Amino acid sequence: MAEKKWWQKSVVYQIYPRSFCDSDGDGIGDLNGISSKLEYLKELGIDVIWLSPVYQSPNDDMGYDISDYRAIMKEFGTMEDYDRMLHKAHGLGLKIMMDLVVNHTSDEHPLFVESRKARNSPYRDFYIWRDGKDGPAPNNWGSSFGGSAWEYDEATDQYYLHLFSKKQPDLNWENDAVRKRIFDMMTWWCDKGIDGFRMDVISLISKVPELPDGETGKNGYGDFTPYCANGPRVHEFLREMNREVLSKYDLITVGECSGVTVEEAKKYASVSGSELNMVFQFEHMNLDGGESFKWNHKKIRLTELKEVMSRWQTGLKGKAWNSLYWCNHDQPRMLSRMGNDSPKYREVSAKMLGACLHMLQGTPYIYQGEELGMTNYPFTSPDEFRDIESINAYQELTEKEIFSHADAFDYISYKSRDNARTPMQWDDSPQAGFTTGTPWIAVNPNYREINAREQMARKDSVFHYYQKLIALRRQYDIIVYGDYELLLPDSEEIYAYLRTLESQTLLVVCNFTEREVGYDVPDGFAKKEGKVLISNYERTEIPAVLTLAPFECIVVLYGQP
């Protein structure tokens, strides 16, 4: 086995600062709010905090459009607040992982402001400028947030590329000076003492130079993915980044890699350490996608979910390291997607999903509120959408009559990223204890039932269950390093798998339905003395034929530790 690393045993917790905790009553979460909640995270037991962007930004895409990489967003506080937060976190033994958004900047970044001034600007080539073609744009690519991926700039009569919003121009990574500036900025943060980077859409930084047209989708635009995801020079760029910056510090790094395959991941996250530690893959998140991108009500089929998870579990074995996640700031709440968010099943299904993920091989990521079983938001009107992706999608889908208003609203309400971005539910006081002011996005009305204060005081809460899942990982090497084997690949009801390490075996059984389901414990295991490590129905032993209760999960360890 390759050398063991601290981040392999770690559990990461993602904070979306805007929605975590507001200390000054302006309705927007901030750094002092985060500082005030570090003890809570310590009690949960996590090791690393991934902070979604806190840099200066005009917030077209909520901080993923950065105008100054060495300054803090005004609404979030000051650099002194940041330093205090970092210092306090370190004092508590918590590490801080920064979001690194360098596929694009904000159009308000001084470099882009300079770049757009003239065709002969010394910074012109820092971004991707092209003449229009017959089209009129340089090619047919659509942006991830709707419309063309090209914006016409009248002053110089050229177009610039933006794979996301038009306020997020793509940087030109082919330019050596661009890479140098990025690496210098990263070094500046590392010297400050941060502990790692989560790299935003890092798989998109190298484009096929010819920028060919993509296959046209339902919205009339071409798909850029084949020409941008895992592009020709991406590994070369990341190896350079590793040499110039990452290798000089002891960091945790994860690349957000849309379009990544198992084969590609072996390069990005090779155990040789030449690029990154791990990647976020999207195959499991995209299983309910369809012709109109993600906008539908399709349910993820359990057999397909298991196939994807298992392929990654076995595919990376010994070659690269997995990341594990159900939720983040871009996804609807998994509890509302694969679990059941009704009061009757909310807690058991949240616990089952937690166990299913946390017993897998890889580094688990918890998204704020997941440890409480927070749910999707009950939208009643499109006016409640705050996210640029949802707002643009609603407009485009209805204007182009791809869906009726009712259907578009329904689909977007279910899949909107805003579902994950409603404020953290701290207690049952007004605005869930998130702010004393008016929150920038509505609080989920279920905060009176679902909140941290109530759950911390109740032994059988989702919070305490997550606390235990994290503690188990720390206690048992088999959870971190054991081999993985899928059982019952064809079941649409049960996700069961084995982990093995030396003489130990771990059996994990999860019922993904709200029905009772019979399960024959694999030969040999029923008779063996097993120790139940965790269960969501207080089961203490495992009979030969198990009738799993709705959303029941059970984790049993066999063999001597």
> What residues make contact with ligand NOJ under the rule CB under 6 A?
61, 64, 101, 164, 200-201, 256, 329-330
Instruction: State the minimum distance, in angstroms, from the CB of residue 214 to ligand NOJ.
Output: 18
Q: What is the nearest approach in angstroms of ligand NOJ to the Cβ of residue 274?
A: 24
Cβ contact 33:78 at 8 Å = no
In the complex, least distance from residue 228 CB atom to ligand NOJ, rounded to whole angstroms: 13
CA dihedral 39, 40, 41, 42 (to 10 degrees): 50
> In 10 A of CB 301, how many CB atoms?
12
Q: Whose Cβ is closer to ligand NOJ: residue 47's or residue 330's?
A: 330
Q: Where does residue 174 fall: left (phi above 0), alpha (psi -120 to 50 degrees), or beta otherwise?
A: alpha
List residues bridging with 99 in a β-sheet.
198
Q: How many CA atoms, within 13 angstroms, populate the side-chain half-sphere of residue 147?
A: 16
Residue 135 region by backbone torsions, left for phi larger than 0, else alpha for psi between -120 and 50, else beta: alpha
- The alpha-helical segments, DSSP class H, found in 288-361 are 302-315, 334-337, 346-358
- Contact yes or no for 556/507 (Cβ under 8 A): yes
Out of 60, 200, 288, 418, pick the active-site residue. Answer: 200
Catalytic status, residue 256: yes
Q: Are strands 12-15 and 48-51 parallel, antiparallel or unpaired?
A: parallel
Q: How far is CA 484 from CA 313, 331, 377, 505, 546, in A?
A: 7, 26, 35, 10, 22
Give the pairing type, strands 95-100 and 48-51: parallel
Please state the φ and ψ torsions of residue 316, each to the nearest 5 degrees. -90, -5
Minimum distance from residue 326 beta carbon to ligand NOJ (Å): 15
Bridge-based pairing of strands 553-558 and 68-72 is unpaired
Nearest-approach distance from CB 165 to ligand NOJ, in angstroms = 8
Our CB check for ligand NOJ shows the closer of 182 and 508 to be: 182
Assess whether the previous peptide bond of 136 is cis (omega < 30° from 0): yes
Q: How far apart are CA 551 and CA 495, in angstroms?
A: 11
Question: Judging by beta carbons within 10 Å of its beta carbon (0-12, 13-18, 19+), is residue 33 exposed, middle or buried?
Answer: buried
61, 256, 275, 552: the active-site residue:
256
**Which residue in the block uniquely carries the two structure tokens 């957000």?**
256
Which of 331/455 has CB closer to ligand NOJ? 331
Query: Does the annotation mark 449 as catalytic?
Result: no
Q: How far, in Å, CA of 197 to CA of 72, rounded?
A: 16
Q: In the structure encoding, which two tokens stand for residue 35, read together? A: 């500082």
CB of 4 to ligand NOJ, least distance (A): 29
Q: Which is nearer to ligand NOJ, 81 or 256 (CB)?
A: 256
Burial of 36 (0-12, 13-18, 19+ CB in 10 A): middle
The CB-of-17 to ligand NOJ minimum distance in angstroms stands at: 13
Q: Which is nearer to ligand NOJ, 101 or 353 (CB)?
A: 101
* Nearest CB to ligand NOJ, comparing residues 101 and 265: 101
Among residues 368 and 535, whose Cβ is nearest to ligand NOJ? 368
Q: Which residues pair with 153 in a beta bridge?
A: 158
Q: Of the two residues 64 and 123, which places its CB atom closer to ligand NOJ in the complex?
A: 64
Specify the residue, 163 or 424, whose C-beta has the smaller distance to ligand NOJ: 163
First CA to last CA across the chain, in angstroms? 19
Smallest gap, in angstroms, from Cβ of residue 201 to ligand NOJ?
A: 5
Residue nearest to ligand NOJ (CB): 64
**Would you call 261 helix, strand, or coil by DSSP?**
coil
DSSP state of 106: -
Catalytic (active-site) positions: 200, 256
